[in-house]
Structure 1
Amino acid sequence: MPDDVHQTLILPPPLRRVLPAARWERVGVGESGAGVWKSQRYVVKVQERGGLPFPSTLQQERERLRWLAGRVPVPRVVGYEVEGGVEYLALTRVPGLDASHPDVLFHPDRLVDLLARALRELHALPLRECPFKMSLSVTLPHVRERVAAGVVDETDFDDEREGRTAISIFNELARTRPASEDLVVTHGDACLPNFIVNGEFIEGLIDVGRAGIADRHADLALTHRSLVRNLNAEYAEQFLELYGRERVDAGKLAYYRLLDELF
């Protein structure tokens, strides 16, 4: 993506007409490559269009946000434009702090309860209503394309996979693919920064470009890992207990942590 897109926010005319004049603060660049800008009331995500469409484009995120609206708390889509090969997605800003913020982590028992409830609510949505498929029959071919294209960052693997290649991880995924999937509507990237907490509530789920029907462990694995990193293993296990230990398969948790390495 061109560096100037990350350094200066220049909105396309249609978005300038719907967004009020504001002081925009550059938040950073996410792992997907999208630049993120915030004002007091809105968020604008900017991403180069083209290339591999996976893990997600901003158009895919827009579609998922529109479907999730009214079902679970998510930002409202204000506008979407493409100009000069760049996507722009404007959203309402969700009030609160992301779940990895120190002020949220200061209340770990409350946090793990909120996370468990939020995922139970999401996973209870009717499958027949969800148009987005993210099961292994969809994701494995896509990550194979990413590996073949050389876009996987092999320096960012978890410590236990340090020094491995993307090809070796994909081969392991293909060899150890679970025999069945416990399909639910998933977030797709359910790490702590993607849950916005406001007081006693999860005020919003953000970065939902990979949301869709998949095994529930695609979410549980990433939330569990994120809790280990931000709190400790004890609270990560408490989260699984609150979610429902009878639904958890330790082997699948490990499998979906491995799969996430290739995103």
Structure 2
Amino acid sequence: MSSAQHVRAILEAARLPQPEALVGVVDHGRSGDLVARAGEAVVKFASTSANIELLAREIAVLEWLGPQAPTAPVLWSGELDGGLALVMKNLAGRPVSHLSPQEAADGLAATAQALAALHGRDPAGCPFDMRLDVKFALAERHVAAGLVDEGDFDGERAGWTARQALDAAHATRPATERLVLTHGDASLPNFLWSPGRPVRLIDLGRLGLADPYQDLALFLRSAKYNYPDLDAAAILREHYPLAQIDEAACDFYRLMDELF
């Protein structure tokens, strides 16, 4: 079955309209084997055990956050063909990683504000625990199962093994954590924005209670990669707000991200 046929089968199961235009595959994202836009909907489908687990977590996160959160409304979710499917409303806006040079600074500022709002939400009752004890246990599982993509490490860790990265993370683990509600994977492709509209959060399979630098470190890394001519740190300090940036915390959380 082609990707287009698969997406149409999911929409049929969800009893949602079929788009007239051909279905466009977005990518094969972290939380699914298939991610595609289909008319007014975005479809995700996971068939491998690791992706099913992550997509199931994203569905639970979206249900917990509720309709007032700056996320895509869920239209349907369910099991299909031995996998798990999620259908959401297709949101307006572009990924903040793909803005024009004229829009980039405003997009980064809006994203920093969105992170500040998320981190400022009352974390009481959040059932999604992503504290370091939990993350290290997950990282150990990923290393043992061979799920870490060593070829995708940041340049300063080129040639490292997953075990080396995990050992280095243990050695540099911060002594304390300040727990807030975090996105968990705050790279710029996971934020949608257009001028005059609020930022929307997508790909929330790693949302949970964690230190704010879980998000700030990845935001800064992604901003440097996508917009190297902008001073993303200055934008963050102004709009988060943040008096100064803890570079050691940034280094640690970027290292931990290699294992996920």
* Structure 1 length-normalised TM: 0.90
Separation (CA, whole Å) in 2 of partners of 1:160 and 1:187: 25
Which of 74, 83, 92 matches 1:77?
Answer: 74
- How many angstroms does 1:237 deviate by? 1.1
Maintained 8 Å contact 2:114/2:199 = no
- How many angstroms does 1:241 deviate by? 1.1
Separation (CA, whole Å) in 1 of partners of 2:249 and 2:3: 37
- Hey, what does 1:135 align to over in structure 2? 131
Give the % identical residues: 35
Matched, 1:18 2:9: no
Listed as ranges, the gaps of 5+ residues in structure 2 are none
Which of 174, 193, 196 matches 1:197?
Answer: 193
- How many angstroms does 1:9 deviate by? 1.6
Letter in 2 for 1:28: D
Q: How does 1:111-190 map to 2 (within 5 A)?
A: 111-190=107-186
Q: Provide Cα deviations, 1:72-102, integer angstroms capped at 9, x if missing partner.
A: 3100111111123211111011111110113
Q: For structure 1, which segment, 155-164 or 17-26, has the greater mean C-alpha deviation from structure 2 after superposition?
A: 17-26
Q: Is the alpha carbon distance of 1:244 and 1:131 closer, same or farther for their aligned partners in structure 2, counting shifts above 3 Å?
A: same
- Hey, what does 1:262 align to over in structure 2? 259
* Structure 2 length-normalised TM: 0.91
Separation (CA, whole Å) in 1 of partners of 2:206 and 2:133: 14
Maintained 8 Å contact 2:191/2:201 = yes
Maintained 8 Å contact 1:112/1:235 = no
Separation (CA, whole Å) in 2 of partners of 1:144 and 1:199: 41
Report the 3-state secondary structure (helix = DSSP H, G, I; strand = E; otherwise coil) of the residue aligned with 2:256.
helix
- How many angstroms does 1:246 deviate by? 3.0
Report the 3-state secondary structure (helix = DSSP H, G, I; strand = E; otherwise coil) of the residue aligned with 1:129.
coil
Separation (CA, whole Å) in 1 of partners of 2:12 and 2:244: 44
Letter in 1 for 2:189: P
Maintained 8 Å contact 1:50/1:85 = no
Matched, 1:100 2:114: no
- How many angstroms does 1:11 deviate by? 5.1
Q: Provide Cα deviations, 1:48-73, integer angstroms capped at 9, x if missing partner.
A: 142587xx521110111122234531
Q: How does 1:198-237 map to 2 (within 5 A)?
A: 198-232=194-228, 234-237=230-233
Letter in 1 for 2:228: N
Report the 3-state secondary structure (helix = DSSP H, G, I; strand = E; otherwise coil) of the residue aligned with 2:109.
helix
Separation (CA, whole Å) in 2 of partners of 1:154 and 1:27: 24
Q: Is the alpha carbon distance of 1:13 and 1:29 closer, same or farther for their aligned partners in structure 2, counting shifts above 3 Å?
A: closer
Listed as ranges, the gaps of 5+ residues in structure 1 are none
Separation (CA, whole Å) in 2 of partners of 1:128 and 1:134: 14
- Hey, what does 1:241 align to over in structure 2? 237
Q: Is the alpha carbon distance of 1:96 and 1:136 closer, same or farther for their aligned partners in structure 2, counting shifts above 3 Å?
A: same
Report the 3-state secondary structure (helix = DSSP H, G, I; strand = E; otherwise coil) of the residue aligned with 1:57.
helix
- Hey, what does 1:65 align to over in structure 2? 62
Maintained 8 Å contact 1:224/1:239 = no
RMSD: 2.1
Q: Provide Cα deviations, 1:88-124, integer angstroms capped at 9, x if missing partner.
A: 1110111111101133x43233122201110000000
Q: For structure 1, which segment, 195-204 or 171-180, has the greater mean C-alpha deviation from structure 2 after superposition?
A: 195-204
- How many angstroms does 1:13 deviate by? 6.8
Maintained 8 Å contact 1:45/1:90 = yes
Separation (CA, whole Å) in 2 of partners of 1:262 and 1:5: 31
Q: Is the alpha carbon distance of 1:39 and 1:14 closer, same or farther for their aligned partners in structure 2, counting shifts above 3 Å?
A: closer
Maintained 8 Å contact 1:61/1:207 = yes
- Hey, what does 1:109 align to over in structure 2? 105
- Hey, what does 1:27 align to over in structure 2? 26
